[in-house]
Amino acid sequence: MVLGIGVIGAGVMGGDHARVVAGSVRGAEVRAIADADPARAAAVAQANGVGTVHSDPLALIAEPSVDAVLIASPDDTHVPYTLACIAAGKPVLCEKPLAPTAEGCIEVMAAEQKAGRRLVQVGFMRRFDPGYAAMRGERAGGAMGSPVMLHCAHRNAVAPPWFTSEMVITNSAVHEIDIVRWLLDDEYAAVTAFMRAGGGKPAPADRQFLVFETRRGTVVGVELYLSARYGYDVTAELVCESGTVSLAQHSAVEMRSFPAQSRAYAPDWRAHFADAYRIQAQSWIDSILSGVPTGASAYDGYVATAVADTCLRAAETGERTPVEILERPAFYR
């Protein structure tokens, strides 16, 4: 069986998801693209050999040839489109964040539970990155003992012009917020946040540092620096009782040229996490066909948004702030 996929949003991420599903995934094909801007939708459709274009995403969701939907439209549209997919009984892979507010995520969880089956996956693609997956395997193997500390850095060469200080947390740090609890199989207990302004545009506070304490006592430092200029760079080093495990640098080749040995940085996350996006898309398709959910659930999406909100409050007050989240409902275990 070949699944028909509809892609909502023909911007940078929607275009990339359409390209990946159309060109690198087995068991699915892109059948429709929707975007408020018809020219943008038409361009992505043409680039990927897709015949149907909609300006109304709800029409795409209703289309009989569309079996499952990938949402990559602006953040504040995620909830209505995800709810429409649930109402239509169609599986949905929604880009992060699932919703800009915890209440929006709770609404999605309630609708999914009412539908009685798991239909929602959130696009936290790092869970499919081979490096993070291997790191989690080493931690779970337990040969180095329990986790003690985790050092993470997340640097972008340059933030988009519309980026705000808050988005450094809600749009960028959410990746660490999700991947850290997945890596450690733990939940957050408290966070302390340091927001620093670089003084320039576009992101007023383009350098931030988060210190998380987890329920099991691991201390996690997360550096966000969105104007790093030199390239896209994501690092993580987990310190366990008797050893460490780190992400290796992503680079296909290594250069030697006087006077240095070097590896290239990707310009942005699409190239850096290309494998993760491809594996995520394939796993999503396979999970729809097998009926076994994979990746981040709506509950994981809720935790990411709720913890991001707590980080923003912590940055505002400068105080160590307890993280209070709803416990995982049985439906998501």
Answer yes or no: are the C-beta atoms of 18 and 33 closer than 8 Å: yes
* Alpha-carbon distance values, 226 to 58, 154, 159, 160, 202 (Å): 34, 8, 5, 9, 10
- Mark residues 143-182: x for contact with ligand ISE by CB under 6 A, - for none: -------------x--------------xx--x-------
> According to CB under 6 A, which one of 124, 265, 269, 299 is a site residue for ligand ISE?
269
Residues listed for the chain: 333
Task: Tell me if 218 contacts ligand ISE by CB under 6 A.
Answer: no
Measure the CA–CA gap between 78 and 13, rounded to whole angstroms: 14
Least separation in angstroms between residue 156's CB and ligand ISE is 5
Closer Cβ to ligand ISE, 81 or 232, answer by number: 232
Closer Cβ to ligand ISE, 72 or 92, answer by number: 72
Closest CA to 87 of 53, 106, 123, 62: 62
Least separation in angstroms between residue 324's CB and ligand ISE is 26
Measure the CA–CA gap between 132 and 211, rounded to whole angstroms: 20
The residue assigned the tokens 């992400």 is 247
* Alpha-carbon distance values, 154 to 130, 172, 175 (Å): 17, 8, 9
Closer Cβ to ligand ISE, 184 or 224, answer by number: 224
Closer Cβ to ligand ISE, 188 or 277, answer by number: 277
Which residue has the CB atom at the shortest distance from ligand ISE? 172
- Segment 14 to 53, residues that bind ligand ISE, using CB under 6 A: none
Under rule CB under 6 A, how many of the chain's residues touch ligand ISE? 5
Measure the CA–CA gap between 272 and 281, rounded to whole angstroms: 16
Least separation in angstroms between residue 35's CB and ligand ISE is 18
Chain residues in the site for ligand ISE (CB under 6 A): 156, 171-172, 175, 269
